[in-house]
Amino acid sequence: MITVHHLNQSRSRRVLWLLEELKMPYDLVKHQRDATTHLAPDSLKKIHPLAKAPVIVDGAITLCESGAVMEYILNNDPQNRLRPVANTAQYYQYLEWLHFAEGSLSLPVLTTLFMKMEQRSGTQPMDGYIAKEIALDFSYIETTLTNQPFFAGDDFSAADIMMTVMLEIAGTQGMLEARTNINSYLEKMQSRSAYQTALSHG
Protein backbone atom coordinates (compact mmCIF):
# COMPACT_ATOMS: atom_id res chain seq x y z
CA MET A 1 0.00 0.00 0.00
CA ILE A 2 1.22 3.53 -0.77
CA THR A 3 2.19 5.74 2.16
CA VAL A 4 1.74 9.44 1.49
CA HIS A 5 3.91 11.84 3.47
CA HIS A 6 1.77 14.94 3.63
CA LEU A 7 2.86 18.42 4.70
CA ASN A 8 0.21 20.92 5.76
CA GLN A 9 -0.49 23.67 3.19
CA SER A 10 1.47 21.98 0.46
CA ARG A 11 1.37 20.38 -2.96
CA SER A 12 0.92 16.98 -1.33
CA ARG A 13 -2.81 17.57 -1.43
CA ARG A 14 -2.50 16.84 -5.16
CA VAL A 15 -1.57 13.27 -4.26
CA LEU A 16 -4.40 12.88 -1.75
CA TRP A 17 -6.85 14.28 -4.31
CA LEU A 18 -5.69 11.84 -7.01
CA LEU A 19 -5.87 8.85 -4.66
CA GLU A 20 -9.36 9.91 -3.60
CA GLU A 21 -10.46 10.27 -7.25
CA LEU A 22 -9.20 6.73 -7.93
CA LYS A 23 -10.53 5.42 -4.60
CA MET A 24 -7.15 3.77 -4.01
CA PRO A 25 -6.32 2.86 -0.41
CA TYR A 26 -3.35 4.65 1.18
CA ASP A 27 -1.69 5.34 4.50
CA LEU A 28 -1.34 8.97 5.46
CA VAL A 29 1.55 10.35 7.53
CA LYS A 30 1.17 14.01 8.43
CA HIS A 31 4.10 16.40 8.87
CA GLN A 32 3.67 19.92 10.22
CA ARG A 33 5.55 22.98 8.94
CA ASP A 34 7.75 24.81 11.44
CA ALA A 35 5.64 27.64 12.86
CA THR A 36 8.42 30.23 12.43
CA THR A 37 10.31 29.25 9.28
CA HIS A 38 7.33 27.60 7.55
CA LEU A 39 9.80 24.93 6.36
CA ALA A 40 9.28 21.17 6.52
CA PRO A 41 10.22 19.45 9.79
CA ASP A 42 13.12 17.01 10.26
CA SER A 43 10.64 14.11 10.20
CA LEU A 44 10.35 14.65 6.43
CA LYS A 45 14.14 14.70 5.99
CA LYS A 46 14.19 11.20 7.44
CA ILE A 47 11.98 10.05 4.56
CA HIS A 48 13.73 11.85 1.66
CA PRO A 49 16.98 13.89 1.54
CA LEU A 50 15.19 16.88 -0.08
CA ALA A 51 12.72 17.08 2.83
CA LYS A 52 9.94 18.30 0.56
CA ALA A 53 6.35 17.22 0.14
CA PRO A 54 4.89 15.27 -1.42
CA VAL A 55 6.85 12.07 -0.89
CA ILE A 56 5.40 8.61 -1.25
CA VAL A 57 6.80 5.29 -0.11
CA ASP A 58 5.61 2.07 -1.71
CA GLY A 59 7.70 -0.99 -0.81
CA ALA A 60 11.25 -0.32 -2.05
CA ILE A 61 10.21 2.86 -3.92
CA THR A 62 10.55 6.29 -2.31
CA LEU A 63 9.53 9.09 -4.67
CA CYS A 64 9.26 12.87 -4.52
CA GLU A 65 8.16 15.52 -7.12
CA SER A 66 4.39 15.73 -7.36
CA GLY A 67 4.32 15.17 -11.15
CA ALA A 68 6.39 12.00 -10.84
CA VAL A 69 4.26 10.81 -7.93
CA MET A 70 1.08 11.35 -9.96
CA GLU A 71 2.53 9.30 -12.83
CA TYR A 72 3.57 6.54 -10.40
CA ILE A 73 0.05 6.30 -9.01
CA LEU A 74 -1.52 6.27 -12.50
CA ASN A 75 0.92 3.53 -13.57
CA ASN A 76 -0.42 1.46 -10.68
CA ASP A 77 -4.08 1.94 -11.53
CA PRO A 78 -5.24 -1.30 -13.19
CA GLN A 79 -8.12 0.61 -14.81
CA ASN A 80 -5.84 3.21 -16.44
CA ARG A 81 -7.99 6.14 -15.39
CA LEU A 82 -7.38 9.92 -15.37
CA ARG A 83 -4.73 9.88 -18.11
CA PRO A 84 -5.51 9.78 -21.85
CA VAL A 85 -4.32 6.84 -23.92
CA ALA A 86 -0.59 7.20 -24.74
CA ASN A 87 0.40 8.79 -28.05
CA THR A 88 -2.98 10.39 -28.72
CA ALA A 89 -3.41 14.16 -29.16
CA GLN A 90 -5.15 14.29 -25.75
CA TYR A 91 -2.25 12.48 -24.14
CA TYR A 92 0.21 15.14 -25.29
CA GLN A 93 -2.09 17.90 -24.01
CA TYR A 94 -2.18 16.03 -20.71
CA LEU A 95 1.61 15.71 -20.66
CA GLU A 96 2.17 19.38 -21.48
CA TRP A 97 -0.11 20.65 -18.70
CA LEU A 98 1.09 18.09 -16.17
CA HIS A 99 4.61 19.49 -16.59
CA PHE A 100 3.55 23.10 -17.19
CA ALA A 101 2.18 23.33 -13.62
CA GLU A 102 5.57 22.74 -11.95
CA GLY A 103 7.68 23.87 -14.92
CA SER A 104 6.67 27.18 -16.56
CA LEU A 105 3.85 28.26 -14.24
CA SER A 106 5.38 27.72 -10.82
CA LEU A 107 8.32 30.06 -11.53
CA PRO A 108 6.42 33.38 -11.88
CA VAL A 109 3.75 32.36 -9.34
CA LEU A 110 6.13 31.33 -6.56
CA THR A 111 8.69 34.03 -7.30
CA THR A 112 5.92 36.62 -6.87
CA LEU A 113 4.92 35.03 -3.57
CA PHE A 114 8.51 35.01 -2.28
CA MET A 115 9.30 38.53 -3.54
CA LYS A 116 6.38 39.86 -1.50
CA MET A 117 8.14 38.55 1.63
CA GLU A 118 11.24 40.66 0.88
CA GLN A 119 11.98 44.26 1.67
CA ARG A 120 12.16 45.70 -1.85
CA SER A 121 12.25 49.19 -3.27
CA GLY A 122 11.91 50.39 -6.84
CA THR A 123 11.73 48.14 -9.87
CA GLN A 124 14.12 45.20 -9.75
CA PRO A 125 15.49 43.27 -12.75
CA MET A 126 13.20 40.28 -12.09
CA ASP A 127 10.00 42.36 -12.19
CA GLY A 128 9.79 42.77 -15.98
CA TYR A 129 10.53 39.11 -16.63
CA ILE A 130 7.97 37.91 -14.08
CA ALA A 131 5.30 40.30 -15.43
CA LYS A 132 5.91 39.02 -18.98
CA GLU A 133 5.68 35.38 -17.86
CA ILE A 134 2.49 35.98 -15.89
CA ALA A 135 0.81 37.70 -18.84
CA LEU A 136 1.88 34.94 -21.25
CA ASP A 137 1.01 31.99 -19.02
CA PHE A 138 -2.39 33.22 -17.87
CA SER A 139 -3.48 34.25 -21.33
CA TYR A 140 -2.53 30.77 -22.62
CA ILE A 141 -4.40 29.10 -19.74
CA GLU A 142 -7.48 31.31 -20.18
CA THR A 143 -7.62 30.62 -23.93
CA THR A 144 -7.26 26.87 -23.36
CA LEU A 145 -10.11 26.85 -20.86
CA THR A 146 -12.27 28.86 -23.27
CA ASN A 147 -11.88 26.17 -25.90
CA GLN A 148 -12.21 23.05 -23.74
CA PRO A 149 -13.55 22.10 -20.30
CA PHE A 150 -10.39 20.41 -18.99
CA PHE A 151 -6.66 20.79 -19.63
CA ALA A 152 -6.41 17.52 -21.56
CA GLY A 153 -9.57 18.19 -23.59
CA ASP A 154 -13.04 16.83 -22.83
CA ASP A 155 -12.14 14.70 -19.82
CA PHE A 156 -10.89 15.39 -16.32
CA SER A 157 -7.33 14.08 -15.83
CA ALA A 158 -4.44 14.20 -13.37
CA ALA A 159 -3.20 17.29 -15.27
CA ASP A 160 -6.21 19.16 -13.84
CA ILE A 161 -5.09 18.23 -10.34
CA MET A 162 -1.56 19.48 -11.02
CA MET A 163 -2.82 22.74 -12.52
CA THR A 164 -5.56 23.44 -9.96
CA VAL A 165 -3.17 23.57 -7.02
CA MET A 166 -0.81 26.02 -8.77
CA LEU A 167 -3.78 28.13 -9.95
CA GLU A 168 -5.06 28.29 -6.38
CA ILE A 169 -1.67 29.63 -5.24
CA ALA A 170 -1.81 32.14 -8.12
CA GLY A 171 -5.24 33.21 -6.86
CA THR A 172 -3.80 34.05 -3.44
CA GLN A 173 -1.39 36.40 -5.26
CA GLY A 174 -4.20 38.27 -7.05
CA MET A 175 -3.25 36.85 -10.46
CA LEU A 176 -6.73 35.59 -11.34
CA GLU A 177 -8.64 38.85 -11.21
CA ALA A 178 -10.72 39.22 -14.40
CA ARG A 179 -9.75 35.69 -15.47
CA THR A 180 -13.37 34.55 -15.74
CA ASN A 181 -12.78 31.14 -17.30
CA ILE A 182 -10.01 30.22 -14.89
CA ASN A 183 -12.17 31.19 -11.91
CA SER A 184 -15.17 29.17 -13.06
CA TYR A 185 -12.87 26.24 -13.87
CA LEU A 186 -11.50 26.39 -10.30
CA GLU A 187 -15.02 26.42 -8.84
CA LYS A 188 -15.80 23.30 -10.88
CA MET A 189 -12.64 21.56 -9.61
CA GLN A 190 -13.26 22.55 -5.99
CA SER A 191 -16.78 21.15 -6.08
CA ARG A 192 -15.55 17.62 -6.89
CA SER A 193 -16.19 15.29 -3.96
CA ALA A 194 -12.65 13.77 -4.11
CA TYR A 195 -11.21 17.31 -3.85
CA GLN A 196 -13.33 17.94 -0.74
CA THR A 197 -12.38 14.59 0.84
CA ALA A 198 -8.67 15.19 0.19
CA LEU A 199 -8.97 18.63 1.73
CA SER A 200 -10.57 17.24 4.89
CA HIS A 201 -7.96 14.45 5.20
CA GLY A 202 -5.02 16.79 4.56
Ligand X SMILES: N[C@@H](CCC(=O)N[C@@H](CS)C(=O)NCC(=O)O)C(=O)O
Where do contacts with ligand X occur on this chain (CB under 6 A)? 7, 10-11, 39-40, 51-54, 65-66, 102
Among residues 105 and 186, whose Cβ is nearest to ligand X?
105
We find the least distance from the C-beta atom of residue 148 to ligand X, in angstroms, to be 24
We find the least distance from the C-beta atom of residue 187 to ligand X, in angstroms, to be 23
We find the least distance from the C-beta atom of residue 68 to ligand X, in angstroms, to be 8
We find the least distance from the C-beta atom of residue 114 to ligand X, in angstroms, to be 12
Among residues 102 and 153, whose Cβ is nearest to ligand X?
102
Among 106, 95, 80, 72, CA closest to 151: 95
C-alpha span between 177 and 142 (Å, rounded) = 12
Report CA-CA distances (Å) from 177 to 25, 146, 185. Answer: 38, 16, 14
Strands 61-64 and 55-58: antiparallel
Q: Give the DSSP H or E segment for 56.
A: strand 55-58
Among residues 98 and 134, whose Cβ is nearest to ligand X?
98
